Structure 1
Amino acid sequence: MWRRRSGLTLRPVSWTAAMEGPMTALSVLLAVTVRWAVSLYPYSGAGKPPMFGDYEAQRHWQEVTLNLPVKQWYFNSTDNDLLYWGLDYPPLTAYHSLLCGYIAHMINADWVALNTSRGYESLHHKLFMRATVLVADLIIYLPAVILYCSHLQEPSPKRKVLSLLCFLLYPGLILIDYGHFQYNSVSLGFALWGIIALSRGCEALGSLAFCLALNYKQMELYHSLPFFCFLLGRCIKRGITGRGLLLLLRIGGTVIGAFGLCWIPFLTDIEQILQVLRRLFPVGRGLFEDKVANVWCSLSLLLKIKSVLSPDTQLQLSFACTALGALPSCIKLTAHPNIRGFTLTLVTCALSFFLFSFQVHEKSILLVSLPACLLLSEVPLMATWFLLTSTFSMLPLLQKDGLVTAYVTTTLIFSLVSATSLSFHLKTSEDSLKMRPFCSSVRRYVPWFRLHEKLVKLAFCVSILAMAALTTASCALTPPPGLPDLFPVLISAVSCLHFLMFFFYFNIIHLWDNVDGKSKKKIS
């Protein structure tokens, strides 16, 4: 095949490169098919009054934003009972709910009728709600993933397409958005657009995209420190009194403008601002609620932290541990702002927030999974291992929603595609794991130290078998009467141990990374 260049000059194009477009389209079609297949399963709180679940929360927000004035959206009233799924996400989520509410009202006004539509359930409404997730995915998240993977520095177009397919088939996000029911792909998609913009040198555009992500879900704070440190480092590199200052002013103006536009209806009254902030950060809920795979929940098996420490002390302790966990990577990123370091810092900081911060939800692991997906082609074993563990950590939630079959199926599909396309199970050497700089440093003091490939493979196999065994036991066995939460507790504890391992691993490969430019960027 041939491609026309300037004038009549032609140059040969490989068959593999020519097939990149159709293969990409086929990958996206497969990913959309898997997503829609999962949407056929039950959703959070289906047929479970009086509160139902996250599906009803999203529907209720459409009802509230459509029928009430903006200034009443976040306040308790007779028409807006905040104890019944009160709006607790930033303004951009509210505007999205309003848009969906308008469309729902045009199709069937009963779906969003004020007060009388609570707990509304029907096949047509389920179809509409599922479609809103897919449309948001197609508009924001999928194009960002396609663009990111198209710029990966891979040896062949085929490898780019296979990396794209693995990225799109990550089961955790699919199960939560299309099964449990949420719109995580919107905030994660905006964050990914921000990462892409920064990788192309568009700092202001990247800042704008991340501001949109943060104004859609406040949990994007997990990614805020890496964005801040990367941009600060870029400004310092350009000279804080010269071009760097101009860049800083441009970024600052973009951030202020973006937040101002999102918050315009609430800026007229200080009480409005404070009420929105109170709804976004409900510190009164305590250190943790459900069985989540973080340090505080797992540590409570040995020490009842909630009983020993006061709420204020718990808040201060979680803040200090989160900051300390994120600090090393952030310092290095500020000093050496490069895209590879930025991606690794996104992982380590998000993991630090998940493991140590206050009031963490099990679904928050998706904020770590996004940057982990960016590393699939660079450290395929550890990235795939993490993504499998992150999905497993949400098993109790998925089991509650009746999504076990979908969980097993999507996990097997992802594992098979990753093993086939990335051969992650074969890449266990020090070089493949990017551990040689660290191991070389250790060997200066312990000459016999080696990271044996067989040991890494054994650890991976034991981990997968443990997760499979706990999945089977949790679905097939009845826990002892005295330990009704046995399996959720075991799943959260095992997952937490895995996440601690990944936390140290990603910190190691970042802190020991060559900052002299020898390590190549993975996106051009």
Structure 2
Amino acid sequence: MFLQIAIIVTTIKVFFIPFYYSTDFEVHRNWLAVTHNLTIDQWYYDNTSEWTLDYPPFFAWLEYGLSHVAKLFDPKMLYLTNLNYNSNMTVLFQRLSVIVLDLVYILAVRSCSKLISNGRLFVYMLLVTNAGLLMVDHIHFQYNGFLYGILLLSISHMIKSNFIQAALWFAVLLNLKHIFLYIAPAYIVYLLRAYCFMVSSEDGLHTPWYSFSIMNLIKLACTVIVVFGLSFGPFLDHIPQIIARLFPFKRGLSHAYWAPNFWALYNFADKVFQVAFTRAGVIKAQPQASMTGGLVQEYQHAVLPSVTPTVTFALTFVMMVPALIKLWNLCADERYRALSFIRCMIICASCSFIFGWHVHEKAILMIIIPLSFMSVLGVEDGITYLMISTVGHYSLFPLLYPKSLVSIKLFILLSHCGIGFSTIPFLYIAKPKKRKRFLRLSLLTDAETVYLYGLIALFVYENMIHTVWGLNKTLPFLPLMFTSVYCALGVIYYWIYYYYYFLTFNLSGVPTVGVVNLNRYEKKIH
């Protein structure tokens, strides 16, 4: 079954090859050309294209390796001046490169699923068929599957207490894509506490004992330093330029399409105040809608205080601190600490997504993918997964904006939701009781169910009503704003719900790997 699922999903990816692709397709084609034609001291300086190289060195080397295969398909795609080149062979190569690199993800998913005794096949299927990866990587175009495969390899080693291997893979991941710095605090706290301090309490009842190991700290530090040395060593004279490329703070608080986070609500509130105060004559009318113009740029809020990168970084870190303290304390019990690490990592990713600077909507996958693994290990994890996967994957719909893709993205989302909602409830209750209310989703409350059904109304408005009312010309970005704001409400609700669960749970009621928590469903629903 594991092989059959992988073959079926891969076949679906092949069918997506001729579909629409975003500007990210040209981004990666240009990076192939840059790394193939220029010496490494020019990689991070070249600006022939507006899509300059802005990933860490390991990813640049990956592009360099791929470029030597690319020239066998169509050498013209490697010409620096061939901007927006998209021959059939170029499309075929780049699509196939994503599919082939996804083998890393599939193998990592298999490695993680082996650690679970109950729901092993389901977790494998849930991860391999992830709706977000299908939409973002194989239609929109990116290499997220390969990157999340390395993350899952690191997580699997962490669960098995192979700390050096876990740190190694995570260091490699950071040097492939620096967005994973979002979850680095959880790694730092956990590795220091569980590996360097060697905290232990065998039965979980007695006072833990501590034995700090300077040797373990040295081994951990050497592992990370060697990886970063291999990555940045050839670029020692160009590190300031690389840092400037990796962290371009002038791109503004929000992406052109607002990610569904706190700043989407903040921007929306500012727009409402702007309209109200303009009509009241308190402020002058703005010449253009700066935040909803579809451009990546800096802008000033009209009414609310403008937000700086420093504010977002400080807010993000402050929000992480309680979870990191909780993780530090939970490491005393070896039976629960690995899964506590994953939960804390999910929360760190959530804090960064909700409060971070210039967050991309695709970063929601950093929450959904680890939570997919956790969904079979506790009813609260399962409930949270059903909520955030539905809302998070729906929030990716605007990335696939061509009308020809409406049925495709809807089918992908509904199929994935069908797998989750038809399976997760049965992991926690042998025979679900007959619903007392019509169409209430299993494991969810009435309010949660109504909210998810609200996505249907949002979809109908975006794809039908907005055009019928003739607003597509005068207010073209209104559906995007509605999607961001509505999904932001669900993401923030999930964050509060899961954060509270993590901070308040009792270890005696928390499952370990291979053990499903069955005793909270009645309390939750009835």
Q: Given the two structures, how large is their TM-score scaled by the length of structure 1?
A: 0.82
Q: Hey, what does 1:513 align to over in structure 2?
A: 505
Q: Distance in 2 between matches of 1:398 and 1:99?
A: 29
Q: Distance in 2 between matches of 1:454 and 1:27?
A: 25
How far is the alpha carbon of 1:307 from its aligned partner?
4.4
Q: Hey, what does 2:111 align to over in structure 1?
A: 147
How far is the alpha carbon of 1:221 from its aligned partner?
1.0
Q: Aligned in 2, Cα 1:104/1:496: closer, same or farther, shift over 3 Å?
A: same
Amino acid at match of 2:259: V
Q: Hey, what does 2:263 align to over in structure 1?
A: 296
Q: Hey, what does 2:295 align to over in structure 1?
A: none
* 1:377-401 Cα shifts (integer Å, max 9, x gaps): 1332321221111111111112259
Q: Hey, what does 2:127 align to over in structure 1?
A: 167
- Structure 1 unmatched ranges of 5 or more: 1-22, 45-52, 430-451
Do 2:111 and 2:153's aligned partners in 1 also have CA atoms closer than 8 Å? Answer: no
Equivalences for residues 23-422 of structure 1 within 5 A: 23-44=1-22, 53-76=23-46, 80-81=47-48, 84-115=50-81, 117-138=82-103, 140-154=104-118, 159-235=119-195, 237-238=197-198, 242=211, 244-267=213-236, 269=237, 272-290=238-256, 291-303=258-270, 306-307=301-302, 314-337=308-331, 338-378=337-377, 379-400=381-402, 403-422=405-424
Question: What SS does structure 2 have at the residue aligned with 1:303?
Answer: helix
How far is the alpha carbon of 1:308 from its aligned partner?
5.6
Do 1:428 and 1:457's aligned partners in 2 also have CA atoms closer than 8 Å? Answer: no
Question: What SS does structure 1 have at the residue aligned with 2:325?
Answer: helix
How far is the alpha carbon of 1:36 from its aligned partner?
2.6
Amino acid at match of 1:486: L
Do 1:348 and 1:503's aligned partners in 2 also have CA atoms closer than 8 Å? Answer: yes
Q: Distance in 1 between matches of 2:376 and 2:12?
A: 22
Q: Distance in 1 between matches of 2:63 and 2:442?
A: 51
Question: What SS does structure 2 have at the residue aligned with 1:300?
Answer: helix
Q: Given the two structures, how large is their TM-score scaled by the length of structure 2?
A: 0.81
Q: Hey, what does 1:15 align to over in structure 2?
A: none
- Structure 2 unmatched ranges of 5 or more: 200-208, 272-299, 332-336, 432-439, 516-526
How far is the alpha carbon of 1:215 from its aligned partner?
0.7
Q: Aligned in 2, Cα 1:424/1:296: closer, same or farther, shift over 3 Å?
A: farther
How far is the alpha carbon of 1:418 from its aligned partner?
2.0
* 1:77-109 Cα shifts (integer Å, max 9, x gaps): xxx32x510001111111111111111113321
Say if 2:478 is the partner of 1:486: yes
Question: What SS does structure 2 have at the residue aligned with 1:41?
Answer: coil
Q: Distance in 2 between matches of 1:145 and 1:522?
A: 15
How far is the alpha carbon of 1:329 from its aligned partner?
0.8
Do 1:292 and 1:361's aligned partners in 2 also have CA atoms closer than 8 Å? Answer: yes
Amino acid at match of 2:421: A
* 1:180-221 Cα shifts (integer Å, max 9, x gaps): 000011221111111111111111110010011111111111
User: How big is the alpha-carbon RMSD for the aligned residues of Structure 1 and Structure 2?
Assistant: 2.6
How far is the alpha carbon of 1:493 from its aligned partner?
0.5
Q: Aligned in 2, Cα 1:511/1:376: closer, same or farther, shift over 3 Å?
A: same
Identity fraction in percent: 27
Question: What SS does structure 1 have at the residue aligned with 2:268?
Answer: coil
Do 2:17 and 2:91's aligned partners in 1 also have CA atoms closer than 8 Å? Answer: no
How far is the alpha carbon of 1:341 from its aligned partner?
1.0
Q: Distance in 1 between matches of 2:32 and 2:488?
A: 35
Question: What SS does structure 2 have at the residue aligned with 1:228?
Answer: helix
Runs of 4+ in 1 over 4 A off after TM superposition: 239-243, 307-311, 424-429, 452-455
Amino acid at match of 1:294: N
Q: Distance in 2 between matches of 1:410 and 1:453?
A: 19
Equivalences for residues 434-513 of structure 1 within 5 A: 456-477=444-465, 478=467, 480=471, 481-513=473-505
* 1:468-509 Cα shifts (integer Å, max 9, x gaps): 221222122326254322111111001111111111111112
Aligned length: 457
